[in-house]
């Protein structure tokens, strides 16, 4: 029934298996990739004809993680997989970016590439497996795909490169999380987060990854030899030579003049006039010829710009190849935000704001690993007005998600440790102008806004976008590329980092890859550019502010013993709710006894902290505390002190003179100062007011004369009433007469008036 073809190899300590012919047999190409116990199915389908008027390549890549693959049911109200999560969107982009350039120019058939995670073992990351499955499915489908590509993840631990580490462990145990996709000849795509790696270390990681990708490429070729379908026969010959020659004659000079204009809007207007002139030149031609002329016009523009750069070193805006556009940075730009910065580089500009929040503001993520929380977020917005256009303004698309994550990776490695800065951090980047590299502007502006907010980052981070013009053996690397240089060039190479090293690197290639020589050149040129940008940023703010914004919440962290957690929370949360309600501060406590108290009012924080410490601290004999009378009884008053402790002030300890009734001295709710006299072995606390100055809280000299013989008459009367129930067990009244004061007399002091001569014989012997 099934014609199954399988290939396998040992790779990174696990078996990588590619299988086809069993599942999704109606797709043009379907591969089940298994690595460890992680399984991904990728199915590719392609339209057999081109839609009328189609003039671009409609490739759609969709990656989906099935919760069942990890034995989980989705959280929330809807118990099924819904819209793409951020991780799924980013992985879809990881697959799309390296395979798109490997389709021939002029191929406009629609293609769907759908990758689904069917099994996840918790160790083998499915994103790399999905990239391999997609490459294999495209290779065997018969579509004109000039692959295959291989993919792998690389870590860097103790100076050694590691293959396919777990994503979380890559940076927890080492200094690098790098994903590379490559053909057998050249690197196609790089995505990374690093802890200040040098250019040499990063280049070495990419080359290490390329060697491992070659092994995957060879495995896919083996599968294709067994199972590939017949390649499509398509005619992609270039019949536009005559059209191109005519266009150069008609508008070549106009295009060259337009690209010498340094102002973006003026350049755009001049180019639009040239395009209109070219369209008029073919007004009488056939519709098909007109469409070819429009596409060929783009090639004419590219040839003119690229030729000027390679031959004369002349860029569109007149800069040198390694020159960065003028930069201006302003911090504290917005009065009510916690931190803000306006970063402008040439015609690219962004407003970045940093907002500080408490643990409640963390981002909850429901993924294959289960629920997790992120305390650092970076959101990037690209409204249509930033490029002077009219367009849809709504939820972020894949591009916005990707650019935001790139900036996130650049800044994440320099954040302070959670225990040192227990805030949730959100950076918002609103691009207001764009002419190339708005993601790098987001990194610079986001870094400045964090420093303006008082986030103690390790070192400032800057980013720069590099471009490439490659014709045969000639090439030119461009620093800080414009939007047009990005569109007409062969590479988008973005590098960000501190003065000590790289924190992120992203590379996308529009041709069949670049060499080690070109990448090394780009990295060195980017290093100089980053240093220049850092210097310009320092003019606005060189380091993080030492004080938080007046509008930011304050968070204070205290550590208590785990055994005291239940005392702070109380039955059903009663105590912690009371603390929050009374003080106004927000209180969070974790299972390790770490308590975070937050409020924009420092007095509220101090009140909550004092209350909590009062609950967890142990009372000390001889120490004076402030307390509140919470209950009055015949023999004294109970006082709450240290937040959660009660003690008894006996009527005899209220004043140095005789007190008839406790209510003559105190009332419920009254604030008093008390000294701890005794704590018995059951934790019962005996307090005194008479030895403390109730105004100042200072200890007074005990002027009371030594006690009368222990059986004093007052003690007898009190004992007759039953005694202080909170006193030691031995001090109870009873026996002969009214009994003794349980607090004031040992067992021997019994009888009427406490006279020893009236004691029974057996008590005298005791």
pLDDT at 301: 84
pLDDT at 236: 63
pLDDT at 617: 80
pLDDT at 708: 55
For a pLDDT cut of 90, what percent of the chain falls above it?
54
pLDDT in tens, 311-350: 878 788 888 999 999 999 999 999 999 999 999 999 999 9
Per DSSP, the residues of 428-450 read EEEEEE-SS-HHHHHHHHHHHHH
- pLDDT of 628 over the 60 cut: yes
- pLDDT of 410 over the 60 cut: yes
For a pLDDT cut of 70, what percent of the chain falls above it?
91
Per-chain mean pLDDT for the chain: 87
Pairing mode, strands 339-345 and 586-589: unpaired
In the chain, the domains with their CATH numbers are 5-227 (3.30.230.70), 246-312 (1.10.10.400), 327-540 (3.30.230.70), 554-616 (3.30.1370.10), 624-688 (2.40.50.140), 713-765 (no CATH)
Residue 492 among known ligand-binding residues: yes
Confidence class of residue 643 from pLDDT cuts 50, 70 and 90? low
- pLDDT of 744 over the 50 cut: no
Q: d(Cα 175, Cα 280) in Å, to the nearest integer? A: 58
pLDDT in tens, 658-694: 888 999 899 998 999 999 999 888 888 999 999 998 8
pLDDT in tens, 705-736: 655 544 444 444 444 444 444 444 444 444 44
Q: d(Cα 92, Cα 398) in Å, to the nearest integer? A: 9
**Alpha helix (H) ranges present in 541-696?**
565-569, 574-583, 602-616
Confidence class of residue 505 from pLDDT cuts 50, 70 and 90? very high
Q: Comparing C-alpha atoms, which of 182, 136, 183 is closest to residue 5?
A: 136
Range picked from 216-230, 601-615, 637-651 for highest mean pLDDT: 216-230
Report, as an integer, the average pLDDT of 392-404: 90
Report, as an integer, the average pLDDT of 260-270: 83
pLDDT at 293: 80
Report, as an integer, the average pLDDT of 232-249: 76
pLDDT at 706: 59
pLDDT at 445: 97
- pLDDT of 761 over the 50 cut: no
> Could you count the other beta carbons within 10 Å of the beta carbon of residue 667?
11
Residue 317 among known ligand-binding residues: no
Confidence class of residue 752 from pLDDT cuts 50, 70 and 90? very low
pLDDT at 513: 60
Report, as an integer, the average pLDDT of 256-271: 84
Supply 310's token pair. Answer: 């390679």
Per DSSP, the residues of 375-431 read SEEEEEE--GGGGT-----SS--HHHHHHHHHHHHHHGGGSPPTTTS--EEEEEEEE
pLDDT at 719: 41
563 vs 236 pLDDT, higher one: 563
194 vs 550 pLDDT, higher one: 194
pLDDT in tens, 35-81: 999 999 999 999 999 888 787 899 999 999 999 999 999 887 888 88
Per DSSP, the residues of 242-311 read HHHHHHHHHHHHHHHHHTT--SHHHHHHHHHHHHHHHHHHTTTS-HHHHHHHHHHHHHHHHHHHHHHHHH
Q: Comparing C-alpha atoms, which of 566, 399, 617, 495 is closest to residue 203?
A: 495
Cis peptide before 700 (omega within 30 of 0): no
pLDDT in tens, 544-588: 999 998 889 999 889 988 888 988 898 888 889 999 999 999 999
């Amino acid at each position: 029934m099934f014609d199954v073809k399988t290939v396998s190899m040992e790779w990174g300590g696990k078996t990588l298996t590619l299988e086809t012919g069993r599942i999704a047999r109606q797709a043009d190409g379907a591969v089940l990739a298994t690595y460890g116990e992680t399984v991904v199915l990728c199915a590719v389908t392609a339209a057999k004809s081109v839609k009328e008027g189609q003039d671009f390549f409609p490739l759609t890549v969709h990656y989906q993680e099935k919760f069942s693959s990890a034995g989980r049911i989705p959280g929330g109200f809807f118990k099924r997989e819904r819209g793409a999560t951020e991780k799924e969107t980013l992985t879809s982009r990881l697959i799309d970016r390296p395979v798109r350039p490997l389709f021939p120019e002029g191929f406009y058939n629609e293609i769907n590439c759908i990758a689904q995670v069917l099994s996840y073992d918790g160790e083998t990351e499915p994103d790399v497996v999905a990239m391999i499955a997609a490459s294999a499915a495209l290779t065997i489908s018969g579509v004109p795909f000039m692959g295959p590509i291989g993919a792998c993840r690389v870590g860097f631990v103790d100076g050694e490169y590691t293959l396919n580490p777990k994503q979380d462990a890559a940076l927890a145990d080492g200094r690098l999380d790098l994903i590379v996709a490559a053909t057998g000849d050249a690197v196609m795509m790089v995505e990374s987060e690093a802890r200040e790696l040098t250019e040499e270390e990063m280049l070495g990681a990419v080359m290490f990854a390329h060697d491992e990708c070659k092994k995957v490429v060879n495995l896919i070729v083996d599968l294709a030899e067994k199972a590939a379908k017949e390649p499509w026969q398509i005619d992609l010959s270039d019949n536009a030579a005559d059209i191109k020659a005519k266009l150069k004659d008609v508008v070549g000079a106009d295009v060259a003049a337009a690209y010498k204009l340094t102002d973006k809007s003026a350049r755009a207007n001049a180019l639009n006039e040239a395009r209109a002139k070219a369209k008029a030149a073919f007004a009488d031609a056939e519709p098909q010829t007109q469409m070819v002329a429009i596409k060929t016009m783009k090639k004419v523009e590219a040839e003119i710009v690229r030729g000027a750069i390679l031959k004369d070193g002349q860029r569109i805006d007149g800069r040198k190849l390694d020159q960065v556009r003028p930069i201006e940075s302003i911090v504290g730009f917005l009065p009510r935000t916690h931190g803000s910065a306006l970063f402008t580089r040439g015609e690219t500009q962004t407003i970045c704001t940093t907002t500080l929040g408490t643990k409640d503001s963390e981002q909850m993520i429901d993924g294959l690993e289960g629920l997790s929380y992120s305390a650092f977020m970076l959101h990037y917005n690209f409204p249509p007005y930033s490029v002077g256009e009219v367009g849809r303004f709504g939820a972020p698309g894949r591009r916005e998600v990707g650019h935001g994550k790139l900036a996130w990776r650049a800044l994440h490695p320099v954040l302070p440790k959670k225990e040192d800065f227990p805030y949730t951090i959100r950076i918002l980047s609103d691009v207001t102008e764009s002419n190339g590299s708005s993601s790098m502007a987001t990194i610079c502006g986001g870094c400045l806004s964090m420093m303006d907010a008082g986030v103690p980052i390790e070192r400032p981070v800057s980013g720069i976008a590099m471009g490439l013009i490659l014709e045969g053996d000639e090439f030119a690397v461009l620093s800080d590329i414009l939007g047009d240089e990005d569109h007409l060039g062969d590479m988008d190479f973005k590098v960000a980092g501190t003065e000590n090293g790289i924190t992120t690197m992203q590379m996308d290639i529009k041709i069949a890859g670049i060499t080690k020589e070109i990448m090394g050149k780009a990295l060195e040129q980017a290093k100089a550019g980053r240093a220049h940008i850092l210097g310009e940023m320092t003019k606005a703010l060189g380091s993080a502010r030492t004080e938080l914004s007046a509008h930011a919440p304050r968070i204070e962290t205290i550590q208590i013993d785990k055994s005291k957690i239940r005392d702070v929370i109380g039955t059903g949360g009663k105590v912690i709710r009371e603390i929050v309600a009374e003080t106004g501060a927000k209180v969070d406590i974790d299972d390790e006894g770490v308590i975070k108290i937050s409020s924009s009012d420092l007095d509220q924080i101090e009140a909550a902290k004092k209350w909590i410490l009062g609950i967890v601290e142990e009372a000390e004999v001889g120490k004076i505390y402030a307390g509140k009378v919470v209950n009055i009884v015949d023999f004294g008053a109970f006082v709450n002190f240290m937040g959660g402790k009660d003690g008894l002030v006996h009527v005899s300890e209220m004043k140095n003179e005789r007190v008839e009734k406790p209510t003559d001295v105190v009332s419920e709710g009254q604030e008093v100062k008390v000294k701890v006299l005794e704590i018995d072995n059951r934790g019962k606390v005996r307090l005194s007011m008479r030895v403390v100055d109730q105004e100042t809280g200072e200890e007074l000299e005990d002027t009371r004369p030594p006690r009368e013989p222990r059986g004093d008459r007052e003690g007898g009367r009190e004992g007759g009433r039953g005694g202080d129930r909170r006193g030691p067990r031995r001090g109870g009244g009873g026996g002969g007469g009214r009994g003794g004061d349980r607090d004031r007399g040992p067992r021997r002091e019994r009888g009427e008036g406490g006279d020893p001569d009236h004691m029974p014989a057996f008590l005298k012997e005791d």
